[in-house]
């Protein structure tokens, strides 16, 4: 039985590529392939998947997708069913609705199968009406170059109208032809690949360049192509390092910005700053859960948009409460604020631990912050990082506006510089203090929203960032927002440029030592106040 099935498949495999554009298979053939998916061994399944991929049958796409998503099931009598998102079942071949007697077993897949499913899907979608699908298929083909695939690519190329897709197809075709026994074709293919910076292509060319048995002309061409690619990649890598540095910098910036208010402007050594960030992250979690529980899935992506003001309000309110309840009794006694805020931080951590439990909470990236886009050379710019960079600058910009352009900002600064005199000038110091601390805390809360998108949401979240935050604010120069920005970005970029050479740990050590040395030259930080006013 098994042997027989395999035999059929083999025949199909040989014949089908020639018929790729055929509208589809007879139901019986399709049914046979589909039955293979429910086979016992992985080898059987793979043969069936490859068969489906080669079938060109539009129905195969849905079946394979369902298989990959774990939505394909089999009944006791080996009928293969597709489960819809609403939990209904339908026969995979006929599409007829089925109500299975017992719960059908999900057909399991593993990575090896997933690889084949992707390959098969890419073949099938090479002719999809959606250019996006076709582009994906072409890229997939580039990453799995095989001479067998060339005829299909040729066909697709002939029919292709979209320039981008056509270019991708050409590249994929060239990649497949590199190993062509025909020396001329191979050489032409290598030349064509010179323009690519794809790491897969690079690897392919590397193989040719290192292959002693290969045609010397091909080797030479491959070598020169490689040199070109490497030059381009070096540049790209520089840019990527810069991006990563800015990205790390923006994380530091966000972590530090609230502290730049509570510590930088108000002078409160706020050891509970990290916990404000944590509160923001937990607020994000709660908002997310609320969205999941009460709103349709289509709105889920907006949960983050709601989280930002929510986190600002929650952390800000806690900040105001702390200021009114504790901090305000401690102005002019920075040491005591250190002690009290440390106590606050312990309590907040344990409180969150008691309410939400000690383990991490899951906070999902909304789809618009998931994944990334590849730039040259296989490097990926991830959306969440990009959004966070933008967010960091936006928050800083808004804060600068508040502090520089509003009366509240003026009053905040006046109050911290001379509380008594500010009161005499008619500034309601109590309210300004509460608002300032609330603002700093609220900003920390917003940072928590951003940080929940790249790291842990746990009761310890704050302790991770507190040291770095102080480092950034002080390094930049206490009281200077520009300094905070420069400090954060500087440290981020330097760190990321060191990391490739020194590794993560040594890199960080170097950065710390650099800070120590740097402070010797600028004892009051990067953007220090100079002159008499600094001493006052």
Ligand X SMILES: Nc1ncnc2c1ncn2[C@@H]1O[C@H](COP(=O)(O)OP(=O)(O)OP(=O)(O)O)[C@@H](O)[C@H]1O
Which positions lie near ligand X, rule CB under 6 A?
531-532
Selection from other proteins, ligand X, none that 170 binds (CB < 5 to 8 A by kind) is none
309 binding partner (options ligand X, other proteins, none; Cβ < 5 to 8 Å by kind): none
Which residue, among 452, 468, 444, 485, has the nearest Cα to 246 in the 3D structure? 485
Provide CB contacts within 8 A for 436, sequence distance 6+: 261, 262, 265, 266, 412, 415, 416
Alpha carbons 11 and 38: distance in angstroms, whole number: 20
232-242 core/surface letters (b: 16 or more CB in 10 A; e: else): ebeebeeebbe
Measured from the CB of residue 532, what is the shortest distance to ligand X in angstroms? Answer: 5
Q: Which does 459 bind (CB under 5 to 8 A by kind): other proteins, ligand X, none?
A: other proteins
| Residue 86 binding result from other proteins, ligand X, none, given CB thresholds of 5 to 8 Å by partner type | none
By C-beta, is 161 or 532 nearer to ligand X? 532
Would you say 162 or 362 has its CB closer to other proteins? 362
Closer residue to other proteins, CB minimum distance, 97 or 421: 421
Nearer to other proteins, 69 or 154 (CB): 69
Least distance from ligand X to the Cβ atom of residue 372, Å: 48
Point out the residue whose Cβ comes nearest to ligand X. Answer: 531
C-alpha dihedral, 144 to 145 to 148 to 152, nearest 10°: 90
Q: How far is the CB of 531 from ligand X (least distance, A)?
A: 2
Measured from the CB of residue 38, what is the shortest distance to other proteins in angstroms? 17
User: Terminal CA-to-CA distance of the chain, rounded, Å?
Assistant: 93
Place of tokens 């800000």: 316
Q: Which two tokens stand for residue 110?
A: 């593993």
Q: How many CB atoms lie within 10 A of CB 156?
A: 24
The smaller minimum CB distance to other proteins, of residues 2 and 420, is found at 420
Residue 421: which of other proteins, ligand X, none does it interact with, CB under 5 to 8 A by kind? other proteins
Distance separating alpha carbons of residues 181 and 133, to the nearest angstrom: 31
Beta strands in 352-404 (DSSP E): 372-374, 380-382
Nearer to ligand X, 1 or 536 (CB): 536
Backbone angles phi, psi at 82, to 5 degrees: -105, 130
Q: Residue 97 or residue 424: which is nearer to ligand X going by CB?
A: 424
Rounded CA-CA distance 301/294 in Å is 14
401 makes contact, choosing from ligand X, other proteins, none, with CB < 5 to 8 Å by partner type, with none
CB 315 within 8 A of CB 325: no
Question: Which SS3 state, helix, strand or coil, does residue 97 take?
Answer: strand
CB of 332 to ligand X, least distance (A): 12
* Distance in Å, CB of 531 to other proteins, minimum: 5
> 251 is in the binding site of which of other proteins, ligand X, none (Cβ under 5 to 8 A by kind)?
other proteins
- How many whole angstroms separate alpha carbon 401 and alpha carbon 409? 8
Q: Minimal distance in Å, beta carbon 522 to ligand X?
A: 17
- CB atoms under 10 Å from CB of 137, counted, come to 27
User: Which is closer to ligand X, CB of 41 or CB of 531?
Assistant: 531
Q: How far is the CB of 334 from ligand X (least distance, A)?
A: 19
Q: Which does 277 bind (CB under 5 to 8 A by kind): ligand X, other proteins, none?
A: none
């Amino acid at each position: 039985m098994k042997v027989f099935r395999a035999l059929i498949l083999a025949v199909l495999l040989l014949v089908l590529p020639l018929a790729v554009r055929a509208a589809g298979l007879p139901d019986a053939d399709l049914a046979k392939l589909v039955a293979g998916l429910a086979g016992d061994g992985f080898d059987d399944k793979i043969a069936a998947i490859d068969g489906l991929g080669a079938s060109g049958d539009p129905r195969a796409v849905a079946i394979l997708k369902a298989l990959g998503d774990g939505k394909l099931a089999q009944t006791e009598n080996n009928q293969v069913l597709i489960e819809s998102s609403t939990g209904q079942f339908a026969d995979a071949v006929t599409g007829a609705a089925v109500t299975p007697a017992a719960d059908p077993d999900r057909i399991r897949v593993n990575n090896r199968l997933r690889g084949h499913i992707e390959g098969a899907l890419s073949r099938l979608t090479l002719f999809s009406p959606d250019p996006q699908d076709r582009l994906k298929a072409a890229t997939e083909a580039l990453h799995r170059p095989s001479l067998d695939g060339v005829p299909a690519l040729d066909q697709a190329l002939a029919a292709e109208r979209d320039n981008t897709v056509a270019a991708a197809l050409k590249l994929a075709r060239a990649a497949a032809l590199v190993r062509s026994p025909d020396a001329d074709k191979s050489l032409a293919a290598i030349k064509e690949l010179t323009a690519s910076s794809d790491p897969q292509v690079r690897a392919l060319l590397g193989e040719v360049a290192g292959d002693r048995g290969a045609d010397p002309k091909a080797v030479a061409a491959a070598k020169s192509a490689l040199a070109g690619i490497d030059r381009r990649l070096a540049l790209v890598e520089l840019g990527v390092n810069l991006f990563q540095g800015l990205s790390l910098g923006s994380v530091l910036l966000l972590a530090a910005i609230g502290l730049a208010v509570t510590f930088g402007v108000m002078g409160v050594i706020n050891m509970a700053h990290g916990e404000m960030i944590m509160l923001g992250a937990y607020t994000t979690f709660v908002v997310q859960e609320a969205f999941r529980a009460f709103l349709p899935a289509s709105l889920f992506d907006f949960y983050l948009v709601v989280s930002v003001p929510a986190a600002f309000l929650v952390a800000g309110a806690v900040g105001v409460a702390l200021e009114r309840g504790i901090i305000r009794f401690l102005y002019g006694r920075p040491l005591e604020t250190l002690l009290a805020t440390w106590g606050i931080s312990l309590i907040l951590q344990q409180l969150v631990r008691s309410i939400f439990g000690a383990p991490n909470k899951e906070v999902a990236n909304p789809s618009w912050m998931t994944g990334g886009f590849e730039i040259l050379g296989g490097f990926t710019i991830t959306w969440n990082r990009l959004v966070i960079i933008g967010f960091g600058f936006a928050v800083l910009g808004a804060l600068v506006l508040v502090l520089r352009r509003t009366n509240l900002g003026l009053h905040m600064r006046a109050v911290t510089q001379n509380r008594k005199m500010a009161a005499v000038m008619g500034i309601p110091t109590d309210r300004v203090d509460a608002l300032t601390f609330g603002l700093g805390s609220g900003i920390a809360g917003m940072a928590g929203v951003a940080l929940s998108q790249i790291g842990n949401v746990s009761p310890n979240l704050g302790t991770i960032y507190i040291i770095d935050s102080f480092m950034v604010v002080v390094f930049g120069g206490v009281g200077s927002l520009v300094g905070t920005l420069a400090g954060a970005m500087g440290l981020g970029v330097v760190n990321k440029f060191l990391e490739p050479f020194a590794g993560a740990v040594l890199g960080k050590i170097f950065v710390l030592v650099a800070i120590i040395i740097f402070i010797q030259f600028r004892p009051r930080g990067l953007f220090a106040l100079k002159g008499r006013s600094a001493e006052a």
